[in-house]
Amino acid sequence: MKKTIITIMIVIVSMATFAQKEPGTLTIYPRVGMTLSKFSGSKIAEGFENGTKWYHSSFKPGFTAGAEFQYQLDQVFAISCGALYSQQGEQFKDIPDCATIKSTHDDIITPVCVLITPKQGFLSFRVGLQPEMKVKGNSYLYRPLTMSIPLGISYEYKNFCLDLRYNHGIINVNKDTSYGKENSNFNRTIMLTLGYGIEL
């Protein structure tokens, strides 16, 4: 997984050419892509009678689509906001005598970010806050609203925008917190999308 992400980032850097938007430009970016998500610290136990063995969750693939608005403040800074449907959750694999266990946690995510494009650079970097509203998943286990910090890098060429983003959850997704840290699970999602910029 890490090798795949590093390879994608190397490809983005190698393709990059200098391009910046004029201050005051408002652009909408419809986006579509894929997600890889799991919950940090999530695990399940197997074999209570002969000694307990714990299995940790692994990344679950999913789909994402939506749109974001971007307003260019000056040659370096821009702000963006939007809404995307994001299939998230987790899965447990390689448990003996058990099929893959998947957990669904589909959200409407609303990232609000600051973008930085260095004057002598060709990539944009983003950071912000992202409220996440659950629209599909176990209502008894999961909170209806959580929050993540999106960190991303993007490359734009002829209005096409390739965006790689990591969403770091900062609010426990579980409703039940009676077990303290043992029941603290935070969303960890990697998003790769392709968008198209339309100036308004």
**pLDDT per residue over 26-68, tens digit each?**
999 999 999 999 888 776 656 555 656 666 677 889 999 999 9
**Residue 7 pLDDT:** 67
- CB-based contact 131:150 (threshold 8 Å): no
pLDDT-based confidence at 9, cuts 50/70/90?
low
What mean pLDDT do residues 172-176 have?
78
16: buried, middle or exposed (CB in 10 Å: 19+, 13-18, 0-12)?
middle
What pairs with residue 54 in β-bridges?
45
**Residue 131 pLDDT:** 96
- CB-based contact 166:2 (threshold 8 Å): no
If one compares 122 and 161, the residue with the highest pLDDT of the two is 161
* Separation between Cα atoms, residue 10 and residue 28, nearest integer Å: 26
